[in-house]
Amino acid sequence: MKLFWKAFSVLHRLFDVCLHIMFKIAYFGKRDELPPITNLLLLSPATSLAAKIRKKKLKSVDLVNAYISRIQEVNPVINAAVNFRFEKALEEAQEIDDLIASDYKTEEEMERETPFLGVPISVKELIAVEGMPFTAGLVSRKNVRSPISAQTVQLMKAAGAIPLVTTNISELGMWYESYNRVYGRTCNPYDTSRSPGGSSGGEGALIGAAGSVIGIGSDIGGSIRMPALFNGVFGHKPSPEVISNYGSYPPSGEREFVPCLSLGPLCRYATDLIPMVKIMAGKNVSLLHLELPVKMKELKVYYIEDVGNHVMFTKTESDMLHALHKVLNHFNNAYKIVPKKLELPILRYMYLMWASSISSCKAPTFSDELAERKGTIHFKLEFLQWIFGQSRFTFPAIVLGVTEKAVIEGSDHYLKMLEDLRRELVKLLGDDGIFLLPTHPTAAPHHNESLFKPFNFSYTAIFNVLGFPATHCPLGLGNENLPIGVQVVAGPYKDRLTLAVAVELEKAFGGWISPSKIIE
């Protein structure tokens, strides 16, 4: 048996390597460069920009104009922003500048009440922004506009942020490449032949390209963390039901899998994570105890490198292992912490645990949502139409629609495994433990390459059904000049640990690296 698995490991790795080479050949020479960054306002955290606005050292109108200009430069290259409210945003920015000039409120009052005053923000398109298109990537919804904003958007606006654009997604947020028949395909700012991830790929790409500084995404299987990895930014999936899902599409209020779905922040600078979570969590913020200090030297650090040989998953690439070990060495060198490697063979079944948990929910199916809960979709016909470029849906959506009704054999067994894993990790991590592992086994794949590696998202998805908070932290560029990084996980409601580690790693390793030249 050992000989079999050794042979399988070699063949599996050989297949992945050959596949990657084939995609590199197919996309050779098919990449576009981003324009350089010429406005240094684009290189400051949102909290620093808000402080300058409050102190009258920067006008909100100037900041919004700077981001409008950057979006106009990069969007023809990456197609990340899909709907724009530039005129309205400038009006709101002028109102903020007038308010500040009037001295109606003190600087301290504005910092306390509106910590993001005057800062533009981007929002994933399937999260409602009042008056903006709200298609969720469906052709049938291309004329739908939202009459109200999602609760997260309302809270950020109340904190002074200005919605500027909405960004591209996969259909209904259920694939990890951001492409649909309404808006087309989004490209990675580091290499336009690569995927930006999904389903918050538009958010990740725009923020990574310095077209936005902070944004709102959603995550049911890694839809915040994978785009954060692929585009070199920070992304946080919070503990379940802390940040409201109200106002996202498909409607999630009545769904049993609400605990698996989380809205959360993406940003270029780790220092913006905790302030964003504080605002987006609203009244639930007290559950996270973000005010409690995190002492790095007292953390317990656990890790895994991969889940072993398994037909479903790609072997973790050396770049991703290098990123993980950079962090392990940092904790050892800086705080004398000796990380402990975990043996968790149960994680070989993480996709089956995720799929069993999602499919066990008594909620509308993906097919129901594709039809907007009105009738049924004839997928055989849609597939024929797709062959001739006439389908309303993308190939991944059609495949998922066809296969989702297949009952996973032994699903009750996998649900029990999930509960066993949850108990084991909750006990192990306790109040001061973090778990480090790759966010994804590879850096950003080429467009469509993920079709041949459909289960790799399980490295993030397992923590959705476990209900653990998880933060992706960028750690520079790998051998192909693509972003690499690590996923930091903690026990339920211990978000403050993963967020504090994100700030620590940004200080140690620099965080986001610009994909384009910076001209001062």
The residues carrying an active-site annotation are 124, 199, 223
C-beta separation of 370 from 171 below 8 A: yes
**Distance (Å, whole) CA 498 – CA 299:** 11
C-beta separation of 79 from 185 below 8 A: yes
Type of residue found at 386: W
Rg (CA), the chain: 22
CA nearest neighbour of 220 among 165, 276, 265, 174: 174
How many C-beta atoms surround the C-beta of residue 203 within 10 A?
41
- Residue 93's H or E segment, with its range, is helix 86-101
Helix (H, G, I), strand (E, B) or coil at 237: strand
Whether residue 250 is preceded by a cis peptide bond, meaning omega within 30 degrees of 0, is: yes
CA nearest neighbour of 260 among 223, 207, 291, 227: 223
Task: Give CA separation, 132 vs 126, 149, 332, in Å.
Answer: 10, 9, 49
**Distance (Å, whole) CA 511 – CA 91:** 33
Helices (H), 219-376: 225-230, 273-281, 318-335, 350-359, 366-370
Token couple for 365: 């199916």
Phi and psi at 188, nearest 5°, equal -75, 130
